[in-house]
Amino acid sequence: MHENGYYFNDLVNKALPKKLVIKNNIKPSFNQNVEFSEREHEVIKLICEEKTAAEIAKEIFLSPRSVEGISQRLFEKVGVRNTAGLVMFAIKNGIVT
């Protein structure tokens, strides 16, 4: 997460959510049976690639504000409060590897 002054390489980005869940016995409770539109699925993958709203918007031809709106809807659908939760959901459900 470069925006917040932190940077983790790919290895850490993949391992961190797993370690947090195992070490702290955190069992995230995600909404089950969530269906995503093609656009939402695309945004989830790009978020997991650490792209900013502006970068995602440029890549999929939307405004950054639209991307932020899609992100908010994703948080609500999945039942998470932030991007980290969305990434954990995507990993757990095989949306990204």
Q: What is the CATH number of the domain that holds 44?
A: 1.10.10.10
Enter the pTM of the model.
0.68
Residue 31 resides in a domain: yes
Does residue 50 fall inside a structural domain? yes
Let me know: does 79 contact 36? Beta carbons within 8 Å. Answer: no
Instruction: Answer yes or no: is 97 within a domain.
Output: no
Residue range(s) defining the domain that contains residue 62: 2-92
Q: Alpha helices, DSSP H only, in the chain?
A: 10-23, 38-48, 53-60, 64-78, 83-92
10-65 tens-digit pLDDT: 655 665 565 555 555 555 567 777 899 999 999 999 999 999 999 999 999 999 99
Q: How many domains does the chain have?
A: 1
Tens of pLDDT, residue by residue over 60-75, are 999 999 999 999 999 9
Per-residue burial over 46-75, b = 16 or more CB atoms within 10 Å of its CB, e = otherwise: bbbebbebeebbeeeebeeebbeebbeebb
